[in-house]
Chain A
Amino acid sequence: MTDHAISVSSHRGEPRVSPIYDPKVRSIFFQILTAVIVVLVTWSISHNVSVNLARANIASGYSFLAGRSGFDIGFAMISYSSDSTYGDALLVGLINTILIAITGIFTATIIGFLIGIGRLSRNWLIAKLCTVYVEVFRNIPPLLVIFFWYSGVLSSLPQVRDSLKLPFNMFLNNRGLAFPKPLWGDGAYLISVAVLVGVIATLAIAMWAKQRQMRTGKQFHTIWAGAGLIVGLPLLTFLALGAPLSFDYPIAGRFNLSGGSVIAPEFVALYLALSFYTAAFIAEIIRAGIRGVPKGQSEASFALGLQPSTTTRLVVIPQAMRIIIPPLTSQYLNLTKNSSLGVAIGFPELVSTGGTTMNQTGQAVEVISIWLVVYLTISIVTSLFMNWFNAKMALVER
C-alpha cells in the first residue's frame, strides 16, 4: 500500500497539461492577439485618415500655427489682434483657461469649505440651508448653471446707456463690469519687490517662531507680524516713492464706455457658475473629511486642555486633510476641465479658440492633439503637485 503511494508520487513531477490549458501560454497568446488587433486597427485608422485628408486637400502638420488668424478675441490677457497668428490665439485661450481655473478653484474652495462646515453645524437652520444648496447644485448640469448666470442673470443687467453707477467710478451693464484701470508710474516695480521681501521675511519669522516654540514653549504672533510685513512694507514703499499710481477712469458715453478696464460678462458667468457648481462637491468632500476624524481625537484634545479653536486647527483639520486631499484634487481637475464649457457662451478659452481655428483651417487632428496634450499636461502637473502635498500631509508611520 505504502509502496504503491510512493511509486505514484515519484512518477508525478510537473503535471502534464495540454499547452492550451497552460495559463502562461494562454496569457502570451492573448497578449499577442491584442497587440496584433491594436496595431491593425491603428494602421487602418491612420491609413484612412491620410486618405481622407488627402481627398479634402488638407496638409497635415503644425505649420498652420504661424498663419494669420484673422479673428478677434474679446477677452485676451496678452496683446492680441486679428493679425496675430493661430498659435497666439491658442495661447490666449490657454491663458484664459488657466485664469478661470485658478480664480474658480480659489472661490469654489472658500464657498465649499463654508458650506461643508455649515452642513455639520449644530444649528438646524444653517445645516438645512447648506444641504439644500448641495442637493440643488449637485443635481443640475454645469452647463445649465453657466447659462443661468449668463442669459438669466447677467443679460438682465441694464444697457450701456442706463449703466448702474457703482462707487469708485465703476459701471455695471450687460457688457460687463467696467472699473478704473490702475496706471503705475516709475519705480512701481519696487512695490512688487517689497511684497516679495515681505513674504520671504514672514516665512523666515514663521520658521524662527516655530523653532523657538519647540525649544521654549513661548508662542509668537506670526500672523500679525506677517500681515504687518506683507501689507506694511509695500505700503511704505508706495508712499516713499511718492504714490506713483494714477487711474484711467471709465467714462460713460452715449452708446459706449470708454477707458478703464472691463470684465466681460462671459468671464463672470463662467467664473460664478463653475465656482458655485464645484463648491457643492467640495462641500461634500469637506464634510466627509471632518466626519472621518474619530470623535475620540477631539475629546482627547479637550482632555489635554486645548481650546476648541486650537483643537480644530491642530488636531481635527490636519487629520481631515488626509481624507480630503485626494478627492479635492479630482474636483480641482474637474473644474479645470469644465472651464471648457466656456465655449457654449463664447468665452474664449482653449476649446473655443481652438474650435474657431479648426473651423477656419480644417486642421482637426492637429487642434485636437493640442487640446489633448494641454489638458493631459494640466492634469498630470496638478496630480503631481497634489500627490506631493498629500505625501507631506500623510500620516508618518513607524
Chain B
Amino acid sequence: MADSNPSYVRHEMLPAQPAPIATGNIVGWIRVNLLATPKDIVLTILALAVLALAIPPALNWLFLQASWFGSDRSVCATVVQGGIQPDGWKGACWAFVKDRFVQFIFGRFPLDERWRPILVIVMLIALLVPMLVPKVPRKGLNALLLFIVFPIVAFFLLHGNVFGLERVETPLWGGLMVTLILSFIGIGVSFPLGILLALGRRSKMPVIKTLCVTFIEVIRGVPLITVLFMANVMLPLFLPVGWTIDNLLRALVAVALFTSAYMAEVIRGGLQAIPKGQSEGADSLGLGYWQKMRLIVLPQAIKLVIPGIVNTFIGLFKDTSLVSIIGMFDFLNIVRLNFTDTTWITPVTPITGLIFAGFIYWLFCFSMSRYSAFMERHLDTAHKR
C-alpha cells in the first residue's frame, strides 16, 4: 500500500489550530465585540459610562427606595409634604399601584358584580390560548366560539339586564377591561373589513374601487382623534331623531373603521405579492371569485403579511388609549384619574402610575410582536430562502 501513499501527500495530521478568537473565551468575545477598533473602545466606554450613570439611580428609584406598603399618600410623601419619608426621599410609589390595582383593571364596575368581568377574562383566556397554540386541533370550532359566541356571551354577561343579572351601564365600564374590549372587537371587525376593502380596492368595478380608495385614503390621511371626534359628535347627528348611540359603541365604530383602513393597505400589499398565475390557475379550475379568494389567494397573501397585520393590531392596541380624549375611562385614563385622588396625591404618584401603565402596554404589545415572529417562522413553508 506504500505506492498509494505518495510523498506529496501528508503522512500525519496537522496539529489542531486554536479556536477563532471570538468563540474561544470571554476575553476573545470582548475583544471582538466591544474593543475591535479605537472607535469601538471609545463607544464602549461612553456606553458604559451612560449605563453607570443611569442604572444605579434607576434601580434605586424603582426598587430600593420605593415604597411598597401602605394605604394612603403618607408612605409616598416626605415629612414636609405631610408624609413619613425623610426629606429628599425619592422613589417609586408602588403602594399606590397595589392599592388601586383592581380599579385599574375594572374601572368603576360595581364591586358586587366584579365576578362577571373576571369570568369573561377566564373565558377569553380559555378560548384564546388554544387558538394561539398551533398544535391544538379544532381551530374552526374554536374560532367560531371565540369570535362569534364569546363576544355575545361577554356582552350579556358584562351589560346584564338578562337572566336576572343587574344592569351595568357602559359608562361604569373602565380600566384595562375597556382597553381589551376595544382592542378585541377592533381586531375582530377590522380584519374582515380590511380584507373586503383590500379586495374592493383591487376590484375591476370602478364604482366599488372608487368607494374603497376614497374611504381608505381619507381615513389614513387624518388622525385617529378626528375620527373619534367624528364618531362622538357626528354619529348622533347622522341618526334619526330620538335614536341614541352608546358612547362605547361610538368609540368602537371609530377604532374599528380607522384600523380597517390600515389593515386594508397591509392586506393589499400581500395580494399584490401573489403571482397572477395563482389566480389564473384558480380560474382555470372553474372556481368562482369568492372561492378563488378564500381558497387560493387570501391564504397565501395573508401568510405573507402576518408581520404587517400584527403591527396593525399593536397600533390598534396602543391607539385605544386615545379614547380618553373623548372622555372614556380606558386603562391609561383610569390610571391618570387616580393621580388627582386626594388619598394618593404626591409628587411621585404620576410618574409611578405612568411607568406601571407603560409596562402593562409594553407587555401586551411586546408579546404580540414575539407571537407574530413565532407564527411567521411556523407558517414559513419554504417560500423564503
Which residues does A use to contact B, with CB under 8 Å?
Answer: 27, 30-32, 34-35, 38, 45, 48-49, 51-53, 55, 121-126, 129, 135-136, 138-144, 147-148, 151-153, 155-156, 333, 337-338, 340-341, 343-344, 351, 355, 358, 364-365, 368, 371-372, 375-376, 379-380
Contact = CB atoms under 8 A, between A and B. Distances in A.
Interface string B221-243: 11111100110011011111100
Contacts of B361: 139-141, 144
Given A129-B50, A129-B51, 11 more contacts: A45-B238, A52-B236, A139-B318, A139-B362, A144-B361, A147-B332, A333-B221, A341-B325, A343-B225, A358-B229, A368-B233
Given A139-B365, A140-B318, A148 B234 contact: no
B222 A31 contact: no
A375 B222 contact: yes
Interface residues of B, number: 56
B62 to A, nearest CB: 13
B222 A125 contact: no
A129 B55 CA distance: 12
Contacts of A343: 225, 325
A147 B221 CA distance: 25
Contact of B222 (A38, A51, A151, A376): A376
A31 B336 CA distance: 49
Contacts of A139: 314, 318, 361-362, 365-366, 369
Nearest to A28: B205
Nearest to B314: A139
Given A365-B234, A368-B226, A34 B207 contact: yes
A144 B354 contact: yes
Describe B's contact surface by its main secondary structure.
helix
A31 B234 CA distance: 28
Contact of A48 (B40, B43, B239): B239
B44 interface: yes
Contacts, number: 158
A51 B223 contact: no
Describe A's contact surface by its main secondary structure.
helix
Contacts of B366: 135, 139
A53 B237 contact: yes
Interface of B: 33-34, 36, 40, 43-44, 47-48, 50-51, 204-208, 211, 218, 220-226, 229-230, 233-234, 236-241, 314, 318-319, 321-322, 324-325, 332, 336, 339, 347, 350-351, 354-355, 357-358, 361-362, 365-366, 369
Contacts of A124: 33-34
A293 B143 CA distance: 41
Given A55-B241, A123-B43, A364-B237, A136 B226 contact: no
Contacts of B229: 351, 355, 358, 368, 371
**Top 3 A-B pairs ranked by shortest CB distance?**
A139-B365, A124-B33, A337-B223
A315 B205 CA distance: 44
B233 A351 contact: no
Contact of A123 (B33, B205, B239, B321): B33
A341 B225 contact: yes
B47 A125 contact: yes
14 contacts: A31-B206, A35-B207, A49-B237, A52-B237, A122-B36, A123-B36, A123-B43, A138-B365, A140-B361, A142-B318, A156-B351, A337-B222, A343-B225, A365-B237
